[in-house]
Chains A and B, each alone.
Chain A
Amino acid sequence: MENILEVKDLTVNFGTFAGDVQAVRGVSFDLHKGETLAIVGETGSGKSVTTKAIMGLLDSNAKVASGTIMFEGQDLLKASAHEMATVNGNSIAEIIQDPMTSLDPTMTIGKQVSEPLRIHKSMSKEKAIARTKEVLELVGIQNAAARMKDYPHQFSGGQRQRIVIAMALVNYPKILIADEPTTALDVTIQAQILNLMTELQQKIDTSIIFITHDLGVVAGMADRVAVMYAGKIIEVGTVDEIFYDPKHPYTWGLINSMPTLDTKADRLYAIPGTPPDLLDPPKGDAFAPRNAYALKIDTQQAPPFFPVTATHAAATWLLHPAAPTVTPPPEIVRRQAIYQQMIAKGFDQPNNPAVKLNTPATDQ
């Protein structure tokens, strides 16, 4: 499978009054052509920083300590602001969390949606208007021609997020980064927006990096999932592998805390403790202090990636041959059992049988 984007060993620190915040600590992943890669993790785990590094939009106090981000033969981390400006909004586009604040309140939405066209394509005005109208219709804005003259405050939250999506898609980008695009919306609208995104992905054939802290959303959207914790990717695999055969205790916790149809609200599980202080992250496995399955070595040495399958790898010492065998939480055991049955029935990788992963582990 062809990679459209390759992130290797990305490390980003932020200089602050209190010291350096190690927001992203050696993240590597690939984005395949046409796939949706979900990046999941708690708040503060470095998801947004990773995407901002890709787009060259890191805050001014950021220091990229190491890494490469290869896109179309170019290292985006080495690109000048000017070069980034030709990539952004053209081949890589972004949607962010809060549709209420992501549109300029003083500019008509027609102008805002057509702005990427104006910047990147030398297109006649009429053509640009026609294209804008077309894209707005595509994302489901009724009466698009007339509404192009309206201002953001005249639209509802869901409509605004559709507009933001239109703005991102107007140049048919090769990569779409969606940073929690539905978090600020209510549940029914969330579903609509997610459906819209899947639909559009097929229409314009783009690859999506889908950021969320909600595993529940991932199942219907993504082909592959990368789980982030404290600035690192700790497990990566296909949706089925992550959902039915997770290996990292943190992923177990995430899945455990997902509400299912038969969990009662009062029994909802939450991972104990809080994420580590990134000003001074723990020496070994950053998750160890919250991990009921932690080993001694976790406090001394960060675990490397252990491959599970060609597409699945996890950074936990539990996968080391010398590690004791542990029994995961019951929900995970139940899921693993289902997975075994599926494989036995020959549904190997039912979602996307063609996926062949290049996990960070195999790079080492």
Chain B
Amino acid sequence: MRKYILKRVLYMLLTLFLIATITFFLMKLLPGTPYQNQDKMSASQIHMMNVQYGLNKPVWQQYLIYIFGMVHGNLGISFQFSSQPVSYLIATRIGPSLQLGIQAMIVGSILGILLGAIAAIRKNTWADTLATLLAILGMSIPNFVFAVLLQYILGFKLKLFPIALWDNFSSSILPTIALAMMPLAETARFMRTEMIDVLNSDYIMLARAKGLTQAGVVWHHALRNSLIPVITLAGPLAVNLMTGSMVVENIFSIPGIGEQFVKSITTNDYPTIMGVTMVYSLMLVVVILIVDILYGIIDPRIRLSGSEVNA
């Protein structure tokens, strides 16, 4: 198990390194200098700026500096935002994003699991139909449409929640709901399929033959066996939440990195774009690693044989 984790961590670092390299050179492909009011600047001003940002050095040197800096947590300096270090920008903004993401993940997966389990147990009844319908709506309606809808009805019309504000917990409720819809839908669908599969399996039949009631079968056998594969959803859901946070943070004016990312894209703030890309990739890779390890801990077949899962 330890060797396995070590291997995964090494692999993860290699992936991050590759991503950093690719991102760096992609950014270098961009024509022109990245200054907003470039037209108004004289050649010498541009040169000065280039020197300040280290853009006058050969590309390979810039690359080495970038990678070296990144290892030390230095992601360069933002072209916008009063030339703050990117790492500082990210550090100050990651809090709200993480809070929203974790809240949405918890709400979405717990409700999704419940909904999926109920749909599977009550297969082909109205409860199943309702759950399936909810899941389809959750998957289909884009999260920004959902966010605006919530904002308009619950915030603007009914004035139950702040519209666009970030201070206390209540201001995080609407964005959390908006973000949680997709994870909820995905989890519910996945859980339903898994649970139906498990409920049709031989060992569940045999568990009934032992005299377990329906509730006993679900509680003692079906739930655990269908929950194990659901863990693998964490990776895709994390990606989903990152995507969602970019619009949802914008709509609700939340000072998170999603909102930051959108801003830096529209202002061509390359160091920040690269920095946030790296942070997102890091988060995803870590989630995948955790899923792998968790899977190994929870599933005895992997725990005891130490073989790999492909998440």
CB–CB under 8 A between A and B in the complex? Answer: yes
Q: Taking beta carbons and an 8 Å cutoff, which residues of A are in contact with B?
A: 55, 57, 60, 81-82, 85-90, 93-94, 96-98, 101-107, 115-116, 119-120, 151, 153-154, 164, 167-168
State whether A104 touches B221 (Cβ < 8 A): yes
Q: CB-CB contacts of B187-219 with A at 8 A, as 1s and 0s?
A: 000000000000001110111111111101000
State whether A57 touches B300 (Cβ < 8 A): no
State whether B225 touches A105 (Cβ < 8 A): yes
Q: Which residue of B lies closest to A55 (CB)?
A: B209
Bound Cα distance from A93 to B299, whole angstroms = 28
Bound Cα distance from A115 to B206, whole angstroms = 11
Q: Which of B205, B206, B214, B301 has a CB less than 8 Å from the CB of A81?
A: B214
A85-B212, A89-B209, A89-B210 given. 6 additional CB < 8 A pairs?
A85-B211, A87-B211, A104-B225, A106-B228, A115-B207, A167-B210
Q: How far is the CB of B203 from chain A (nearest CB, A)?
A: 5
Bound Cα distance from A120 to B208, whole angstroms = 13
State whether B202 touches A119 (Cβ < 8 A): no
CB of B224 within 8 A of chain A?
A: yes
CB of B304 within 8 A of chain A?
A: yes
Known interface pairs A105-B225, A106-B224, A106-B225; A153-B214 also in contact (CB < 8 Å): no
Q: Taking beta carbons and an 8 Å cutoff, which residues of B are in contact with A?
A: 123, 201-203, 205-214, 216, 220-221, 224-225, 228, 298-301, 304-305
Bound Cα distance from A101 to B209, whole angstroms = 15
Q: Which of A57, A103, A168 has a CB less than 8 Å from the CB of B208?
A: A57
Q: Which residue of B lies closest to A51 (CB)?
A: B209
Contacts of A154 in B (CB 8 A): 304
State whether A151 touches B304 (Cβ < 8 A): yes
15 contacting pairs across A/B (C-beta < 8 A): A55-B208, A57-B205, A89-B210, A93-B210, A96-B209, A101-B203, A102-B205, A104-B221, A107-B220, A116-B211, A119-B212, A119-B216, A151-B304, A153-B305, A164-B206
Q: Which of A97, A105, A115, A151 has a CB less than 8 Å from the CB of B210?
A: A115
Known interface pairs A106-B299, A153-B300; A86-B211 also in contact (CB < 8 Å): yes
Bound Cα distance from A176 to B96, whole angstroms = 61
Q: Which residue of A lies closest to B214 (CB)?
A: A81
Q: Which of A60, A87, A102 has a CB less than 8 Å from the CB of B206?
A: A102
Q: Which of A89, A97, A107, A151 has a CB less than 8 Å from the CB of B211?
A: A89
Q: How far is the CB of A73 from chain B (nearest CB, A)?
A: 19
Contacts of A81 in B (CB 8 A): 213-214
Contacts of A85 in B (CB 8 A): 211-213, 216
State whether B301 touches A120 (Cβ < 8 A): no
Bound Cα distance from A106 to B224, whole angstroms = 8
Contacts of B207 in A (CB 8 A): 104, 115
Q: How far is the CB of B98 from chain A (nearest CB, A)?
A: 32
Q: How far is the CB of A120 from chain B (nearest CB, A)?
A: 6
Bound Cα distance from A18 to B112, whole angstroms = 34
Q: Which residue of A lies closest to B221 (CB)?
A: A104
Contacts of A86 in B (CB 8 A): 211
State whether A151 touches B216 (Cβ < 8 A): no
Q: Which of B203, B211, B299 has a CB less than 8 Å from the CB of A103?
A: B203
Q: How far is the CB of A251 from chain B (nearest CB, A)?
A: 30
- Residue of B206, B228, B300, B305 with most partner-chain A CB within 10 A: B206
State whether A88 touches B225 (Cβ < 8 A): no
- Residue of A55, A88, A168 with most partner-chain B CB within 10 A: A88
Contacts of B210 in A (CB 8 A): 88-89, 93, 115-116, 119, 167
Bound Cα distance from A154 to B304, whole angstroms = 9
Q: Which residue of B lies closest to A170 (CB)?
A: B210
Bound Cα distance from A57 to B305, whole angstroms = 35
Bound Cα distance from A97 to B208, whole angstroms = 16
**A-B pairs, 5 with minimum CB distance:** A89-B211, A89-B210, A101-B202, A94-B209, A151-B300
Bound Cα distance from A37 to B206, whole angstroms = 21
Q: How far is the CB of B305 from chain A (nearest CB, A)?
A: 8
State whether B209 touches A90 (Cβ < 8 A): no
Bound Cα distance from A98 to B206, whole angstroms = 11
Q: How far is the CB of A150 from chain B (nearest CB, A)?
A: 8
Contacts of A60 in B (CB 8 A): 123
Q: Which residue of B lies closest to A87 (CB)?
A: B211
Q: Which residue of A lies closest to B206 (CB)?
A: A102
Contacts of B220 in A (CB 8 A): 107, 115
- Residue of B203, B216, B224, B300 with most partner-chain A CB within 10 A: B203
Bound Cα distance from A17 to B61, whole angstroms = 69
Bound Cα distance from A116 to B305, whole angstroms = 29
Contacts of B299 in A (CB 8 A): 106
